[in-house]
């Protein structure tokens, strides 16, 4: 007889203990039925010590190979440039990878082939966005256009490569400034730490080259705000989300909650939404 009370729990590993990773670690530590956090992979154990010390349950610091072995699902919450190296062992082991740095998927389409080859799966949560359920449903018919307008407090855009390469200053703004107009693919390259959401939207809908985006540095907003307009043969969608920033001004608080919601659904007897 199997006496292990955790045997059917989903074993979760986290890579990266920044704003999203730390929030997830605290939530799983507090306890979610059916979910067990088995370990975490960090770059800098000293920096992680503060978060780990405040957890109720001791959490193992593992290297990536160990984390993959111990987990059913690995959650990537690290800088975008690391996505390929994190994804490789997870997908090669046929496991599930929740990707937060969804923008980086566009530069690494081979990861999808890798998942297919080994029976793994890449899961892109709705994250800091909304409406991907309706957009994927609309994509079963014909979507004519998808447009998103993002407004962020200037400090949420500081350091973006596109701004640096094009000498666009966002210092001392007293009114909104449009700093980018282009496709989701161009945004993913130019704003790798800021616009994962538009890539998720594009993958749900009509792809990164046809999904249009404007980015505004707006000193009058304190929330990261995304307005989405979709025109499809089944419906017209107009949706707005105003994200309260987390500890990281670039990252909305709802991002980590979206991952928790996704994981809860994974083995749930009642599953709401597409």
Ligand X SMILES: NC(=O)C1=CN([C@@H]2O[C@H](COP(=O)(O)OP(=O)(O)OC[C@H]3O[C@@H](n4cnc5c(N)ncnc54)[C@H](OP(=O)(O)O)[C@@H]3O)[C@@H](O)[C@H]2O)C=CC1
CA 199, CA 211: separation in Å to the nearest integer? 9
Question: Which residue has 């006496």 as its token pair?
Answer: 3
**Shortest Cβ 181–ligand OAA spacing (Å):** 17
Q: Which of 107, 197, 104 is nearest to 150 (CA)?
A: 197
Looking at beta carbons only, is 99 or 206 nearer to ligand X?
99
> Is 196 one of the annotated binding-site residues?
yes
- Tell me how far CA of residue 38 lies from CA of 34, 80, 148, 183, in angstroms: 13, 23, 37, 39
Residue 24 binds ligand X, judged by CB under 6 A: no
**Shortest Cβ 242–ligand X spacing (Å):** 14
Site for ligand X in 203-262 (CB under 6 A): 248, 251, 255
Residue nearest to ligand X (CB): 18
Residue 135 binds ligand OAA, judged by CB under 6 A: no
The contact mask relative to ligand OAA for 158-197 (x = CB under 6 A, - = no) is ------------------------------------xxxx
Q: Which of 198, 199, 194, 200 is nearest to 159 (CA)?
A: 194
226 is catalytic: yes
**Shortest Cβ 13–ligand X spacing (Å):** 11
**Shortest Cβ 240–ligand OAA spacing (Å):** 12
Residues sharing a CB contact under 8 Å with residue 185, sequence separation 6 or more, in sequence order: 106, 202, 208, 209
Site for ligand X in 110-149 (CB under 6 A): 127-129
Residue 157 binds ligand X, judged by CB under 6 A: no
> Is 128 one of the annotated binding-site residues?
yes
Residue 62 binds ligand OAA, judged by CB under 6 A: no
C-beta contacts of 31-37 below 8 A and 24+ residues apart: 32/260, 32/263, 32/264, 34/8, 34/9, 34/10, 34/264, 34/267, 35/9, 35/10, 35/263, 35/264, 36/6, 36/9, 36/10, 36/11, 36/12, 37/12, 37/13
Binding site, by residue number, is 128, 196
Binding site for NAD(+), by residue number, is 128, 196
Among all residues, which ones are annotated catalytic? Answer: 226
């Amino acid at each position: 007889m199997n006496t292990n009370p955790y045997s059917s729990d989903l074993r979760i590993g986290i890579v990266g203990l920044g704003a999203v990773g730390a929030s997830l670690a605290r939530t799983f530590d507090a306890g979610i039925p059916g979910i067990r956090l088995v370990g975490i992979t960090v770059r800098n154990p000293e920096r992680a010590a503060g978060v780990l010390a405040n957890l109720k349950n001791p959490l193992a610091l593992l290297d990536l190979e160990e984390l993959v072995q111990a987990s059913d699902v690995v959650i990537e919450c690290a800088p975008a440039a690391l996505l390929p190296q994190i994804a490789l062992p997870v997908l090669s082991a046929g496991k599930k990878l929740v990707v937060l740095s969804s923008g980086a998927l566009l530069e690494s389409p081979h990861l999808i082939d890798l998942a297919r080859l080994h029976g793994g799966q890449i899961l892109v949560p709705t994250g800091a966005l909304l409406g991907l359920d309706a957009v994927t449903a609309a994509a079963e018919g014909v979507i004519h256009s998808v447009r998103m307008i993002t407004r962020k407090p200037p400090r949420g855009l500081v350091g973006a490569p596109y701004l640096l390469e094009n000498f666009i200053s966002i210092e001392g703004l007293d009114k909104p400034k449009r700093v980018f107009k282009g496709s989701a693919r161009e945004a993913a390259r130019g704003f790798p730490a800021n616009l994962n959401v538009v890539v998720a939207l594009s993958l749900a809908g009509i792809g990164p080259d046809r999904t249009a985006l404007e980015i505004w540095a707006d000193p009058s907003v304190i929330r990261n705000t995304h307005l989405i307009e979709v025109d499809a043969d089944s419906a017209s969608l107009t949706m707005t989300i105003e994200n309260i920033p987390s500890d990281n001004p670039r990252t909305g608080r709802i991002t980590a909650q979206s991952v928790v919601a996704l994981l809860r659904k994974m083995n749930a007897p009642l599953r709401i939404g597409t």
